[in-house]
Amino acid sequence: MLKLTTTAAIEAAIPTVTCPTLKHLMLGRLEDIVICDLAALTHLLVMEPQDTEAELRACLGREPRDWDWREQHGHWWELMYLASGGFAFIVLTEEPAFVQQGCEGAGR
């Protein structure tokens, strides 16, 4: 899992991405973070194929199926998890089983 906790880390990771959709999503989130001055309040997590739901749970400190917002972009999903004080995790992941199965909660 790529854990990108600063705008510099996101900027450094973008050139290494080979998937055009993922690159576009990362550029868009970086732009949003900068324009809205949310760098201190946002972490971007990019799940890799070998990453598990348990690993995501450990990063978030909460159940991954309990997202606050999600949007599908082709075969990629963008999930947002809000925390206290306006902090947010944005997770980019390819077709995770827990997203497909976990559509029963609020805001989905």
Q: Give the domain ranges of the chain.
A: 2-101
pLDDT at 99: 67
DSSP string, the chain: -EEE-SHHHHHHHGGG---HHHHHHHHHHHHHHHHTT-GGGEEEEE--TT--HHHHHHHHTS-TT--SEEEEETTEEEEEEE-GGG-EEEEEEES-HHHHH-TTSTT-
User: What tokens were used for 19?
Assistant: 């998937």
pLDDT at 97: 63
pLDDT at 95: 79
pLDDT at 1: 95
- Ranges of the chain whose pLDDT falls below 50: 102-108
CB–CB of 51/64 below 8 Å?
A: no
Q: What is the pTM of this model?
A: 0.88
Strand order in the sheet with 2-4: 2-4, 42-46, 88-94, 76-82, 69-73
pLDDT at 58: 95
